[in-house]
């Protein structure tokens, strides 16, 4: 009699191509999937994120069953559910008298550490396979990084372009440029019509999950009324097709733009589906590349979109596994301020922050410029302690898993790694927000006023940030211009900047 193998599938591994599902024996193998309290609460995830993952898990389990695969699925409210991965796997091993466990490596360090002890704990082989859904393996990234003083994403991205022969003309970039960033920074004219989000209705499975989430996690951040995420592979493919057909042609022009009461603009909103496995990064990139080849989208839009996946997504994953767990402990700017309460309530007179946080509460989503240049920029300028900001990002966004969230927030948003990931802090005053959005028109503060009670706080906080971090940042070659400007300010103005900043920050509720 053949021995039984358990194939343990996590909630962000909902791909039929998953390495742990290959070679599955229909007669003897069992797929084990578990909904556990520990994973919903190690941080208090946004309600929509929990619903998305659990509903997608249940639908994925059903799709496996339709192939004749035996699936042992433990729901949140099932009798005896212990609430943890390890304990639930242990119970499944006993139920099925299993001889071995096969699992695909997890995306997060804490779960990988958990898995390392399973073979000894359960007294049977636990085979941890590589997650080859990514476009770069751990070994590839390590080989690229070896011997480099600075691991800049741009150079990694170029290597990945060459490897995949995407947007390439021989060994040179198609169109003559590697990067079309300068063409992708337009604000949105009033005449541009923004298409509606491609949302999806709530089926019986999703509604059941929503009831359970409200029952167990009513005190978590977020609103469920507007839940419209895809929860199946088929719906996710519809979302991809909708983006490529309706949004991609304008995505490049307006990917950095922000607009009042427009939560999605021309963004794909595909990252949650890629990060939980309903879509795979290769097929998403190839769909965009096909649109370019067929003359349906301009090269600047397609290159900008592909760079987000082939470049940033793969790059931050490489950094995460190369540098964890010590990476999370650095605090180069010695930031120490608590996270302000308005990150949870949205109650602030700064309209850009209010708009972004309310949209985040409503959708478990904000696009990358809202994250980087609104909520992130404020936290950077205010000197909020990195761990608090990182926890907030991990909680509030549906696409946030630590491997992708932590390097982006720690390195790019907060410069907490001292420039290992990004060559300079992404700090900006109110003029940037005014240029890229219409938020300032309905704000209590004026981006054109630099000091005093009506001044946009981003203005004086920006210069105060430079003053506070002068010793750490003035030697950075990319900070030369702002520090030269700072050097020309008289003592009275510098004193006023510090006073206005301290008064504003001390007035925040924490």
Three-state DSSP state, 347: coil
8 A C-beta contact, residue 389 and residue 38: no
Residue range 133-190, pLDDT digits in tens: 999 999 999 999 999 888 899 999 999 999 999 999 999 999 999 999 887 788 899 8
State how far the alpha carbon of 27 is from the alpha carbons of 74, 98, 170, 378, in Å: 21, 13, 49, 56
Mean pLDDT of all residues belonging to the chain: 96
The sign of the CA dihedral 207, 40, 356, 444 is positive
DSSP label at residue 442: G
DSSP label at residue 134: S
CA dist., res. 225 & res. 427, Å (int): 35
CA angle 295, 296, 302 (to 5 degrees): 95
CA dist., res. 491 & res. 487, Å (int): 10
Residue range 459-472, pLDDT digits in tens: 999 999 999 999 99
Q: What are phi and psi of 417, to 5 degrees?
A: -90, 5
DSSP string, 243-289: IIIIIHHHHHHHTT--BTTBSSTT----HHHHHHTSS-HHHHHHHHH
Residue range 349-408, pLDDT digits in tens: 999 999 999 999 999 999 999 999 999 999 999 999 999 999 999 999 999 999 999 999
Q: Judging by DSSP bridges, how do beta strands 70-74 and 100-104 pair with one another?
A: unpaired
- The CA radius of gyration of the chain, in Å to the nearest whole number, is 24
Q: Among 313, 434, 309, which residue's Cα sits nearest to residue 373? A: 434
8 A C-beta contact, residue 362 and residue 404: no
The sign of the CA dihedral 43, 49, 50, 54 is negative
State how far Cα 281 lies from the chain centre: 14
CA dist., res. 464 & res. 482, Å (int): 12
Question: How many C-beta neighbours within 10 Å does residue 357 have?
Answer: 24
Task: Give the pair of three-digit tokens for residue 10.
Answer: 């996590």
Domains located in the chain, CATH noted: 5-129 (3.40.50.620), 138-323 (1.25.40.80), 342-506 (1.10.579.10)
User: In the predicted model, what is the mean pLDDT of residues 35-60?
Assistant: 98
User: In the predicted model, what is the mean pLDDT of residues 83-96?
Assistant: 96
Dihedral angle, C-alpha 6, 98, 54, 367, nearest 10 °? -40
CA dist., res. 66 & res. 63, Å (int): 5
Q: Where are the alpha helices (DSSP H) in 294-350?
A: 299-306, 314-323, 342-345
Residue range 7-24, pLDDT digits in tens: 999 999 999 999 999 999
Q: Quick one: pLDDT band at residue 38, thresholds 50, 70, 90?
A: very high
Residue 190: predicted pLDDT = 87
Task: Give the pair of three-digit tokens for residue 82.
Answer: 């212990």
Residue 185: predicted pLDDT = 80
Q: Among 453, 465, 460, 221, which residue's Cα sits nearest to residue 349? A: 453
Residue 183: predicted pLDDT = 78
pLDDT for residue 2 is more than 70: no
Residue range 193-237, pLDDT digits in tens: 999 999 999 999 999 999 999 999 999 999 999 999 999 999 999
Q: Which H or E run includes 102?
A: strand 100-104
């Amino acid at each position: 009699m053949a021995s039984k193998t358990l194939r343990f599938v996590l909630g962000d591994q909902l791909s039929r191509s998953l390495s742990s599902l290959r070679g599955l024996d229909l007669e003897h193998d069992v797929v084990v999937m578990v909904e556990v309290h520990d994973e919903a609460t190690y941080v208090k995830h946004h309600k929509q994120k929990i619903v998305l993952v659990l509903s997608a898990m249940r639908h994925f389990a059903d799709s496996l069953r339709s192939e004749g695969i035996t699936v042992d699925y433990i729901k949140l409210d099932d009798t005896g559910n212990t609430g943890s991965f390890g304990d639930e796997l242990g119970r499944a091993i006993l139920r099925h008298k299993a001889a071995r466990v096969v699992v695909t490596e997890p995306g997060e360090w804490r779960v990988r550490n958990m898995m390392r002890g399973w073979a000894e704990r359960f007294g049977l082989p636990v085979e941890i396979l590589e997650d080859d859904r990514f476009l770069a393996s751990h070994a590839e990234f390590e080989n690229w990084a070896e011997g480099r003083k600075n691991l800049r994403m741009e150079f990694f991205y170029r290597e990945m372009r060459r490897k995949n022969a995407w947007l390439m003309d021989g060994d040179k970039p198609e169109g003559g440029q590697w990067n079309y960033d300068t063409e992708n920074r337009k604000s949105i004219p009033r005449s541009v019509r923004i298409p509606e989000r491609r949302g999806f209705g709530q089926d019986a499975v999703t509604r059941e999950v929503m009831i359970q989430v409200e029952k167990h996690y009513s005190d978590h951040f977020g609103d469920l009324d507007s839940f419209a995420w895809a929860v199946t592979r088929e719906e996710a493919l519809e979302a991809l097709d909708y983006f490529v057909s309706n949004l991609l042609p304008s995505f490049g022009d307006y990917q950095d733009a922000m607009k009042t009461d427009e939560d999605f603009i021309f963004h794909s909103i595909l990252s949650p589906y890629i990060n939980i496995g309903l879509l795979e990064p290769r097929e998403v990139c190839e769909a965009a590349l096909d649109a370019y080849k067929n003359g349906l989208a301009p090269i600047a839009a397609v290159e900008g979109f592909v760079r987000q996946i082939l470049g940033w997504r793969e790059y931050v994953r490489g950094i995460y596994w190369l540098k964890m767990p010590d990476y999370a402990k650095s605090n180069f700017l010695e930031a120490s301020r608590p996270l302000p309460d308005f990150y949870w309530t949205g109650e602030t007179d700064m309209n850009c922050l209010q708009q972004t946080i309310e949209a985040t509460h409503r959708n478990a989503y904000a696009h990358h410029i809202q994250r980087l240049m609104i909520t992130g920029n404020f936290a950077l300028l205010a000197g909020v302690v990195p761990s608090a900001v990182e926890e907030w990002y991990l909680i509030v966004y549906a696409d946030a898993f630590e491997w992708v969230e932590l390097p982006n927030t720690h390195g790019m948003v907060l410069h907490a790694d001292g420039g290992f990931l990004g060559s300079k802090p992404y700090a900006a005053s109110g003029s940037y927000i005014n240029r890229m959005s219409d938020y300032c028109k309905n704000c209590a503060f004026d981006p054109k006023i630099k000091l005093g009670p009506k001044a946009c706080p981003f203005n004086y906080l920006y210069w105060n940030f430079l003053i506070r971090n002068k010793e750490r940042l003035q030697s950075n070659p990319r900070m030369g211009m702002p520090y030269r400007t700072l050097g020309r300010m008289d003592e009275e103005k510098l004193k006023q900047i510090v006073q206005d900043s301290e008064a504003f920050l001390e007035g925040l509720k924490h």
